[in-house]
Amino acid sequence: MLKGKTVLLGVTGSIAAYKIASLASALKKLHADVHVLMTENATNFINPITFETLTGNKCLVDTFDRNFQYSVEHVSLAKKADVVMLAPASANVIGKIAHGIADDMLTTTIMACKCKKIVAPAMNTNMFENPIVQDNLKVLEHYNYEVISPAVGYLACGDTGAGKMPEPQTLLAYIEKEIACEKDLKGKKVVINVFPSLDTAVCAASVRRFNKEAASLPNTVVLAVSKDLPFAQGRFCTTEGIDKVIPLSAFRCSCFENGYGMLMVDGPLKGLLARGVIVVDEAGKVVYEELVSEITNEPNYEAAIASLKN
């Protein structure tokens, strides 16, 4: 799935560093060329030999390591990288990158990369919520870094709150979303029908009319999202006007340009029990969104169609 793709994993000093071994292994099984860069502090949590064994590549820590093939290592890696994931990302390294400080192999390599860069913060809740850290994350987003919201739960320090690094399978999904999927929705208008189940309103005449009219408009793709999938996907895919069906567990509004299959959970649709319709324009901007809480209600399909025609 990822054959021919180069993934750089940046690991910083956090108790969650050990989880990246699972991510490196999963990427390798997908035939990616995986390179791991670690801060000195990260080596206190997991040994570089672990990553070297899993990836078959030297784990880089020291910028001035003489035991490597002759090349400017951080530049050569940066040139061939298809995606960089910094996980776990400590407050210290986030602050360095946000302000252009490159003083080790990890930060110098990231500064030299022109590919997509994804950051997964992991730290104590109070640190994560600190206005300085939040400002630094906004700076990274301004420079087109994608910041993954940390999970909420029990932390290693004993606190409970935001700051947990997402599980490796979630991080893998972000990487796949970036480099494994064709960008087949880029530049298209996208209509998303949201249903709690395949047996709810799927066969309603209003839904069929809406799908058919939306699909008839130029440069428009009609999708459906349901919590039931993939159990009855074949039956639902035959619904008139539907181009593609996506499980709700793999859906994220802000990622339509990245393809059908690797959209991710985020925002108000997580755990959605009712119905809705969302319209996204060619630039990836949500131009119409209506989520109804009562199962007996239905969205204003006429307004959704009007937004498509504007």
Question: Cβ distance 104 to 40 under 8 Å?
Answer: yes
Question: Cβ distance 223 to 193 under 8 Å?
Answer: yes
Supply 66's token pair: 């003489």
Catalytic residue among 203, 237, 253, 255: 203
Known catalytic residue at 181:
no
Q: Active-site residues: which are they?
A: 203
